[in-house]
Structure 1
Amino acid sequence: MKKIKLGTSELEVGEISLGCMRMSELSNKDAAYVIENALDAGVDLFDHADIYGKGKSEEVFANAIQMNDDIREKMKLQTKCGIRDGFFDFSKEHILESVDASLRRLKTDYVDSMLLHRPDALMEPEEVAEAFSTLKESGKVRYFGVSNQNPMQMELLNKYLDDDLIVNQMQMSLVHTPMLDAGFNVNMKHDPAIARDGSVIEYCRLNDITIQAWSPFQHGMIEGPFIGNYAFPEVNAKLQELAEEKGVTDSAIAIAWILRHPANIQPVVGTMNPERLRDIAKASDIELTRQEWYELYRAAGNDLP
């Protein structure tokens, strides 16, 4: 699998990562198979969060592989914090407590990256900066990032941080493209022209921040997958056509579409099916043409101006 560097960091990882939200539903044996299969396919960044399975996903992950120094060196671990029961919390106290709890569950001394999960309107950036400094100096976190933030929210944080933010996780799939739509429809008076995120994709490219695309097979936020969904006939037909032509699955084509963008976006796939993950990983070897990329974008229901 091709490698990318996360932001301005020294972290080199496979260009596809594995989201571990559903790992809490697996036995240790099945989870071990998923993790080993991912590493064999070149997927070596594992994305966690303190709320996944209420912490159980991190526990299952560590127990499944019997976490030790040898296996730890083969992977990059990322976790997130800030979502609590009914509110968001970027307080220094919560960030420090959350990271310590994740480290205990993951049975490791450090995570490679830690992201702030969903913006907290009551965030005090000075306090976040203090928490980040404490975590960095203690060796518990190597690098920091955010999730679901717009450029001004990141700029506010950057005013106080000593280190660059290296990642911003944003929802993106072939049928969820607000990061792209407004760029095609500048100065036009219809819905796709609305810039809902402050030109976040351009901001991240300008500032060398890696966008990680979460839910790359979903439509809406939690409505379900669009692949194989009869409600999306045109895009599924095009995916199937290209999949047959290139000898891969439709899911691999959907990921290759994201990888084709020059921003070096890293999809975070959440499948716990080892065979499906191997099929998806083949996207790294697919190079869609510019025409194919646009054909898929239009098949997803988008009109070009």
Structure 2
Amino acid sequence: MKMLDVVNGPKNASRIILGCMRMPALNVDEAAKIISTAAENGINFFDHATCYGDGEAEKRFGDAFPLTGLKREDVIIQSKCGLHFDTKEFNWTKEDILKSTDEILSRLKMDYLDALLLHRPDLLFDPEEVAEAFDALYTSGKVKHFGVSNVTPGQLELLKKYVKQPLVFNQLQFSLDQSQLIDAALYLNNLTTDRSTNRDNGILDYCRLNDITIQAWSPLQIGMFQGCFIDHPDYKELNDVLAEIGAKYGVSKTAIAIAWILRHPAKMQAIAGTMNPAHLKEFCDAAKVDLTHKEWYDLYLASGKFLP
């Protein structure tokens, strides 16, 4: 497994993260198996959110973790708060951050989080309230590190004006299909394609300049949640190139698609959302591959892009 010492954050963190959004579909024994499979394949980083199954993902993990024999200090547990689909609002108030964190820890049956992320922007957020909440959580020992999800450079700057603790993570969508993080720079000032449209406010370069580690979510998805591009008939050229490069390295197309993300010099982490042990092993095989410069471009172009 490729590992990463996150600047101002957790050390020796796996570059592949197990995302636990789909864990509510498992029973406790199945959940213990996928956690153990992750650990056996080098994953020590687990991602949650309060909205995953309305807390059921965290609860299932909390019930299953003791069955794995893993030690709490040997894993990195992260959760996110702020999304309330039940009340149809995003909430970054001090009251909600503190309440959500206590509920997260209760469901996980743990004393602290290695990282807490604010989950998508609350359009009414007060950075001073966020700072007060983070101070309380850090001082109490309930949260070691902090970050955000899908947040712009301007919003990060506003938070940093008041928040004392480093913001060390930003979860953003990134994959061979959803490559907006890098497209606009390539097609700058090019009216022949809408890929020149700046859809991310330069967040990739901002994160690299400010030592914020990007965690790529939905690394195999079409759009947001429209299925997987692996073996999809609309992505024949991409799958042909994935298969060709996979055969060279003796790994699956899934592994090559994840290796493409890990090859980027921003040293991103990739979030694997599968609850299938065999498929998770394919994700982890990505850590065995170091794509060449040309192979990375071959995959990018096969996904439907072109060199201007």
- Interval of TM-score (by shorter of Structure 1 and Structure 2): over 0.9
Q: CA deviation at 1:11?
A: 2.8
Matches within 5 A, 1:26-175: 26-66=26-66, 71-85=71-85, 86-175=88-177
Q: Does 1:270 find its partner at 2:273?
A: yes
CA distance in 2, matches of 1:6, 1:59: 27
Q: Which amino acid aligns with 1:27?
A: N
Q: Which amino acid aligns with 1:197?
A: D
**Could you list the runs of 4 or more consecutive aligned residues of structure 1 that deviate by over 6 angstroms after TM superposition?**
none
Structure 1's unaligned 5+ residue stretches are: none
Greater displacement, 228-237 / 206-215: 228-237
Cα distance per residue 1:168-223 (max 9 Å; x no partner): 00011111000000111122223111111111110000001000000000010111
Q: Percent identity?
A: 48
Q: CA deviation at 1:70?
A: 5.8
- CA-atom RMSD in angstroms: 1.3
Q: CA deviation at 1:10?
A: 4.0
Q: 1:221 aligns with which of 224, 241, 248?
A: 224
Q: Which amino acid aligns with 1:191?
A: D
The secondary structure found in structure 2 opposite 1:232 is helix
CA distance in 1, matches of 2:295, 2:261: 12
* 8 A Cα contact 2:16 2:271, kept in partner: yes
CA distance in 2, matches of 1:68, 1:39: 9
How many residue pairs match? The answer is 305
Matches within 5 A, 1:3-14: 3-14=3-14
Cα distance per residue 1:214-254 (max 9 Å; x no partner): 00000101111111111111111111111112110000000
CA distance in 1, matches of 2:287, 2:68: 29
CA distance in 2, matches of 1:67, 1:120: 37
Greater displacement, 185-194 / 96-105: 185-194
Matches within 5 A, 1:274-285: 274-285=277-288
CA distance in 1, matches of 2:142, 2:43: 23
TM superposition score normalised by structure 2: 0.97
Structure 2's unaligned 5+ residue stretches are: none
- Compared CA separation, residues 270 and 68, structure 1 to 2 (3 A): closer
CA distance in 1, matches of 2:206, 2:170: 11
